[in-house]
């Protein structure tokens, strides 16, 4: 991708952010996913409209892009997003196997307007016993059996 194309796709992501703000559906965030010079996914924050804390621009763009190409992997894709992805979106981008992410605003700028996810970065880096969200294992032979059955399948599709 060349710099001019990168600028054009970033402008689309920023436009998605502006639309989210103008339509009052969520925070001022937008994203587009591009493969071979074509937009295959678009998303804008819809947390408020959908009552869904996962309805971030990047996640919605990933969902649309995957439907568009019929695959859960987005290898060969670039993501343009109006702001540095939060930890949830960053993890989703890794799971989607995108090639690169370009962002406009940095997370400190998002924090300055009330979208501070630094605490979440710190929580994820902390030992599981030191996190504010209580987590404990409840082992189950049945749960392990489901894993074993999946692993034994010859037709399984690895992530």
* DSSP output for the chain: --HHHHHHHHHHHHHHHHHHHHTTSSSS-EEEEEETTEEEEEEE--HHHHT-TT--HHHHHHHHHHHHHT-S--TTEEEEEEEPPPHHHHHHHHHHT-SEEEEEE-HHHHHHTT---HHHHHHHHS-GGGSSS-------HHHHHHHHHHHH-TT----
Least confident segment among 84-88, 114-118, 123-127 = 114-118
What was the pLDDT predicted at 8?
98
pTM assigned to the model: 0.92
Q: For 36-61, what is each residue's pLDDT tens digit?
A: 999 999 999 999 999 999 999 999 99
142 as an active site residue: the answer is no
Q: For 102-120, what is each residue's pLDDT tens digit?
A: 999 999 999 999 998 989 9
Active-site residue (options: 58, 64, 118, 154): 58
């Amino acid at each position: 991708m060349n710099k001019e194309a990168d600028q054009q796709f970033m402008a689309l992501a920023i436009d998605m952010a502006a639309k989210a703000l103008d339509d009052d559906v969520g925070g001022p965030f937008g994203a587009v996913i591009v493969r071979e010079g074509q937009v295959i996914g678009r998303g804008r924050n819809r947390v408020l409209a959908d009552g869904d804390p996962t309805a971030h621009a990047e996640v919605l763009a990933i969902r649309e892009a995957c439907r568009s190409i019929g695959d859960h992997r987005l290898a060969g894709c670039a993501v343009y997003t109006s702001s540095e992805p939060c930890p949830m979106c960053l993890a989703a981008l890794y799971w989607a196997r995108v090639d690169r992410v370009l962002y406009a605003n940095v997370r400190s700028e998002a924090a300055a307007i009330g979208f501070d996810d630094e605490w979440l970065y710190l929580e994820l880096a902390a030992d599981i016993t030191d996190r504010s969200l209580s987590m404990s294992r409840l082992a189950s032979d049945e749960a392990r059996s489901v894993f074993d059955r999946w692993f034994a399948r010859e037709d399984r599709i690895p992530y």
